[in-house]
Amino acid sequence: MIDTIRSVLAPIHRAGWPFVAVGAAAAVLGFWLFAPLGWIFAGVTAWIAYFFRDPDRVTPARAGLVVSPADGRVQLIANAAPPAELGIGDAPRPRISVFLNVFDVHVNRFPVDGQVVAAHYRAGTFVNASLDKASLDNERMSLAIMLPDGRDVAVVQIAGLVARRIVCEAAPGAIARAGARYGLIRFGSRVDVYLPSGVAPLVAIGQRVIGGESVLADLQGSEAARLGEVR
């Protein structure tokens, strides 16, 4: 119960405060004009505050772990080429796609330790982010992160059906720390992680993950990819 209350009352990401302020002003005006209207706007404002919640997370500290960049559900696992604009090659590599619905925390976090070596925004469509083609067609913001051992990991924020704004606070040269906040996507979206070739995903399709905490892969491990058995 305490954890649930803390999740609901988590701090609000600074990108959400303008929306909360507008909603609060509309609620005050609504109460002045017609009380039921005020309650409606108050409810909308509360939901906006909930959507932009930004809870703290405890990230596994062991070197080599790839943590989830977002809360959500693992929607797709497949081999695919990373976005061409990053310039890190076109060879297919393991890709893990995490789909966020409107009730998930939408703050995004670095999946690995390293240095951002490329960042690229690409305009696109806004089809359902759960579809495979969203990786190619939708608006996206892509980062390439160089690992200490010279390999790289790509993380891509993808706008969804109702998302209309990708916020990315990382730029080339920035130091990435696994679990640290670096951006946000508004109102439903998806985040793709492209692992180095030969690294097996340690999650399965349909699994719920927590941004900054759930382990997606082990860059130093030899465990086989999970098959998704339920026990």
In contact, 188 and 100? CB cutoff 8 Å: yes
Of residues 68, 97, 135, 189, which has the active-site annotation? Answer: 189
In contact, 145 and 69? CB cutoff 8 Å: no
197 is catalytic: no
Token representation of residue 85: 């604009």
In contact, 98 and 190? CB cutoff 8 Å: yes
Q: What is the dihedral sign for C-alpha 153, 190, 82, 92?
A: positive
From its phi and psi, is residue 192 left (phi > 0), alpha (psi between -120 and 50) or beta? beta
Active site residues: 189
